[in-house]
Structure 1
Amino acid sequence: MPVTDRDVLFEDNHLIALSKRAGDIVQVDETGDKPLDEQVKSYLAHKYNKPGTAFLGVVHRLDRPVSGVILFAKTSKALERMNAAFKNREVKKTYWAVVRNKPAKSSSTLVHWLVKDPSKNVVKPYPAEVPGSQRAELSYRLLGELGGYYLIEVDPLTGRSHQIRVQLSTMGCPIVGDNKYGYPRGSRKGSICLHARRLQFLHPVKKEPVNIFAKLPVDGFWERFEQF
């Protein structure tokens, strides 16, 4: 499905943010499916009647089955500065996740050391540092319960591959639909109940606070949690 005006959450001369649909890939992969960055380039070229393709830089990524805020840079200056902001942990990321098992603690901080197996595209957690591992840290709090499902707000302090998915699973709370990390069955829609809810940062050029918020997907399940 091509990008439309309805998908855009924020745009100025330097940045564009969209509400990513679960199932979209951010950059090209082995599937050959058209990635989101190419769709956004086409959208911008058409919107502003630009010949050829518009510049677009990938600032960060979301896993294919995850929905929510995704940010791109429209200028090389913004790309360089936003890359630095993410690297220096100057961007506050907030996610919502739905799980079936109630967390043992209503709020806590999780720290693991993660090792990725690229051949299987899975990440294995360890309680202490091992060769080839990366430190992963997040904080979470329980927002509420609805129909036997629990809504958790997650603030990752690091940006490791599959971090939220594997760390919540490790504490006994696999995300609904995420059979790669312990949920008993996958979603027929190819999605998991993990949503990038909010991005907060200082604008790379204007130096003004930016707060980008994405509503929950309307799929007959997710939107019920908007009440929280």
Structure 2
Amino acid sequence: MARVPPPLPFSVQEEIFRRFEAAEPEPEGELEHVNAYTLVVAVALSAQATDAGVNKATRALFAIADTPAKMLALGEAGLLEHIKSIGLFRNKAKNVIALSRILVEEHGGEVPSSRAALQALPGVGRKTANVVLQMWFGHPAQAVDTHVFRVANRTRIAPGKDVEAVERAIEDNVPVRYQRHSHHWLILHGRYTCVARKPKCPACLIHDLCPYPEKTEAA
């Protein structure tokens, strides 16, 4: 098994995130939501789906069902009509109805602010819980998706063999003052610049600090 390389030195990490912050001081997620509940639903629906596709499906949905009680009133059949364009929509609909019922019955209709309580909801894994904790509650939680995993390993900002190892590496190596927004900076960098097949190295604002060995020739 290949050895995980060491993370970049702290001084380099500091400069990388200084540049990210200078370019976009307040990065935001691209999933549309109006409250903590709709954020939970949107993130749960986004698994194996694009943010754009989820947003297209949820605009009309959230206009009529923006609380757990309203979602339960809409029912699974009504929900299916709104999200049938999203991958795995049948299973996701069951989870949304189930998590809505738990929120009503066990949390007074409110979204809990603890990772354990969030992960106890159907269809909510660690990544979804971390997104909600970071975006809504302001916790420096590190949600590691495919973009974050790729950027963290390519750049050696936070190398790790799996998503939990990368999550820990971000917490251990990214300067604390940047951890509130590091998740979004890494996602956006991976989504638009450090893309999977042909990273846009010439346009990369951290190109000179990145040890990635397969930079494009134009860079």
TM-score, normalised with respect to structure 1: 0.27
Structure number having the greater strand percentage: 1
Higher Rg of the two aligned structures: 2
Structure number having the greater helix percentage: 2
